[in-house]
Amino acid sequence: MGGTFDPIHFGHLVTAEEALVQFNLNRVVFMPSGNPARKTHREVTSGEHRYLMAVIATASNPDFEVSRMEIDRAGPTYTVDTLRTLRSIHGSRADLYFITGADAVWEIVTWKDADEFVDLCTFIAATRPGYDLDAARSEHAEQLARLKIEFIEVPALAISSTDIRLRVKEKRPVRYLTSESVAAYIEKQKLYREAY
Ligand code: NAP
């Protein structure tokens, strides 16, 4: 499950659980991006903070893991590099799924070495409430033809990392949007107080 996770929240956790059950997965590996290639409009919180928040948010779930693979890899983060590595670790017979937000999914054909994805994984795209999947499908027919994509609807994705960062900055509550432990970590490390 790829994402910036800045910070991880209940929407991500519900998405992971939903994907685990719907696609009968063995486990979900949360993969915080290292240096998101296209995040130039704002400063992303350090990979170490985002990784640690993911670890504490998922610690109690035996089916969830967090990987340092992308935050430890030098240079810009490209999903194709991650999937190639996972494929070489798990072999050609493993079914690999890459879970991410539906908003990101239509950009995939523009990602590095996009033509390899069809052989590397099936994408699971999580949609927020109100997302018009039929309209998106007809608008993005080309992408659908070039990739394997499944969609899941996740009502909890009304929660967003952007909203949480803004709430912290404005001293509004984030309780019940992310775990108590993540909220405490944000407070302790003084994250999101200035820019969001
Ligand atoms: P983003 O633009 O920050 O997020 C796009 C939307 O998707 C946001 O609404 C976000 O909500 C949501 N989202 C992101 N990850 C999600 C997840 N795991 N589950 C549910 N919703 C999610 O996207 P991003 O985080 O930078 O990128 C998503 C993934 O695509 C990452 O793994 C990234 O490395 C990969 N990517 C790869 C390339 C490339 O290889 N060239 C380029 C771009 C992205 P929240 O803000 O609430 O999470």
pLDDT digits (tens, 9 = 90+) for 118-170: 999 999 999 988 899 999 889 988 888 999 999 999 999 999 999 999 999 99
Strand 28-32, strand 64-66: pairing? parallel
Axis crossing angle, helix 47-58 with helix 180-188, rounded to the nearest 10 = 150
> Would the pTM of this model clear 0.85, i.e. be above it?
yes
- Distance CA(78)–CA(41), nearest Å, equals 18
d(CA 97, CA 149): 9
For the Cβ of 154 lying below 6 angstroms from any atom of ligand 1, the answer is no
How many other CB atoms sit within 10 Å of the CB of residue 149? 19
**Mutation test residue for ligand 1: of 12, 33, 84, 100, the one with most atoms within 8 Å of CB:** 100
Closest atom of ligand 1 relative to the 126 alpha carbon: 20
Q: Write the residue with the smallest CA distance to atom 13 of ligand 1.
A: 101
Binning pLDDT at 50, 70 and 90, where does residue 39 land?
low
pLDDT band at 29 (very low <50, low <70, confident <90, very high): very high
* Residue nearest ligand 1's atom 42 by CA: 111
